[in-house]
Amino acid sequence: MSDDNTKREAEPSPASAGSRPVAWVVALGGDGLIIDGIFLREKQAEEACAWRNEHTTYGARIIPLYEKPQPTLTDDELEVLLAIEADAAYRAMWKTGQVVRGLLDRTK
């Protein structure tokens, strides 16, 4: 009986789902608790990791780094936010008009 979980790649984390890595870390040792370097190109990370694995006894592994995905809004959420923004702008203009009228009245 074979374990299918060992043959499949791990599911991407929610932070990385649907996105691409922006950098790669080469981490030393089995637990990867010591960072050897951060690379902006995957090929460079692979080369550094391969060198560490060939020339050290503690080995290395590559950890991809992802940017936090931007939240998406539904049409309803966007409509509400735009209405709040428009209302706040209107109230700010109305208040500014009141202040200007008050200043002008005091200078007469």
Whole-number Å distance between alpha carbons of 93 and 103: 15
Helix ranges restricted to H, the chain:
42-55, 75-107
At 58 the pLDDT is 83
4 pLDDT higher than 50 = no
| Domain map (residue ranges) of the chain | 10-65, 71-108
Mean of pLDDT values over 86-103: 77
What dihedral angle (degrees, nearest 10) is formed by the CA atoms of 91, 97, 103, 108?
-150
How distant is the alpha carbon of residue 63 from its chain centre? Answer: 16
pLDDT digit string, tens, across residues 6-65: 333 444 555 545 578 999 999 988 665 788 889 999 999 999 999 999 998 888 999 999
Does the global pTM surpass 0.75?
Answer: no
At 8 the pLDDT is 38
Q: Please give the DSSP secondary-structure letter assigned to residue 14.
A: T
